[in-house]
Structure 1
Amino acid sequence: MDTLDELDRRILDVLQMDASHTNAELAELVHVSPPTCLRRVKHLTETGVIQRQVALVAPEKLGARLTAIVEITLDVQAAERMDEFEKVVAAEPAILQCYRVSPGPDFVLVVQVADMPAYHALAHRVFAAQKNVRNVKAYFSTFRSKFETRIAP
């Protein structure tokens, strides 16, 4: 998409705080007509600026009380081996985020599970079972002081 104008930025700002607004409510909040607002949101979606709309769920309400930040180092970093690992990770619902990083480990993962036995089961299934995984280093969250999904438009 070309550069975002001020209206696009206002729309994105409001939607990132609460995407449940109706088009009429959103239009009123950003000070444009509903047809203009609808057209802009549609364009932002079609061009990939808005990737998707989701509900943020409190993990502990679903029994996922343990958050782990996990560093993974592979033995072989060839592109196809990195892709293979990412496919394994993508199939695991408890792994919420996966980043290729540099320098240091090859991947950093954000994992959300019920408890330590659930983490151990995941570690065995996803990490230990992969021949190309050389090193796993996990950090367990004791307190989350900030969690934000909003990106300043």
Structure 2
Amino acid sequence: MPPKKSIQLDDFDLAILDQLQINNRTSLQEIGQSVNLSAAAVQRRVRRMEDARVIQSNAAIVDPASVGRPITIIVEVQVDSEHADLMDSARSEFAAAPEVQQCYYVTGAADFILVLTVSTMEEYEQLSRRLFLENKNVRHFNTFVAMNRVKAGLRVPLSRT
């Protein structure tokens, strides 16, 4: 992954980003009309934001239940040792698991918070064995099973402060 370049975002950039977060398939012409820029100017700005990694990815948001993964699980993980090599190993292992949708290194009682999606509790049992029970650096993990998906998204609120 190339290093992130620092760029200044203006009101046009923020308006473009806001529209792309709602629907990244909106045409450059439509975006241009709504923000009062030409399609070519919008394209240049989008490319600049992609190069600077402000826009990190263009992806479809999939309903997990629709593809046979109806269970969302949140896991707090505490580790025994915070030595750099052990923490890097845990980060890598958690990030490599396709069932892990999100992984955060956090402050507080837990060291990591993971959001997982699985098809069955049996799958979660196998996953927890692999990721947590067999990992000698995991001291404790606490599991929360989501009863209902109230809101899920990655949209970042954009405004000038």
TM-score range, shorter chain: over 0.9
- Correspondence for 1:49: 54
- Correspondence for 1:146: 151
- Correspondence for 1:124: 129
How far the C-alpha of 1:31 sits from its partner, in A, is 2.1
How far the C-alpha of 1:103 sits from its partner, in A, is 1.4
Matched, 1:112 2:117: yes
Q: Deviations over 1:44-92 (max 9, x none)?
A: 1111111111000010011111101100111111111110011111221
Distance, in Å, in 2 between the alignment partners of 1:39 and 1:114 is: 42
How far the C-alpha of 1:98 sits from its partner, in A, is 0.7
**Equivalent pairs, count:** 153
5+ residue gaps in structure 2? 1-5
When normalised by structure 1's length, the TM-score is 0.96
- Correspondence for 1:28: 33
Runs of 4 or more, structure 1, over 4 Å off, are: none
5+ residue gaps in structure 1? none
Distance, in Å, in 1 between the alignment partners of 2:105 and 2:84 is: 11
Deviates more, 1:75-84 or 1:24-33: 24-33
- Correspondence for 2:88: 83
Distance, in Å, in 2 between the alignment partners of 1:62 and 1:30 is: 36
Letter in 2 for 1:129: E
Distance, in Å, in 2 between the alignment partners of 1:91 and 1:144 is: 24
Letter in 2 for 1:11: I
How far the C-alpha of 1:3 sits from its partner, in A, is 2.9
- Correspondence for 2:16: 11
How far the C-alpha of 1:2 sits from its partner, in A, is 3.4
How far the C-alpha of 1:152 sits from its partner, in A, is 1.4
Q: Percent identity?
A: 35
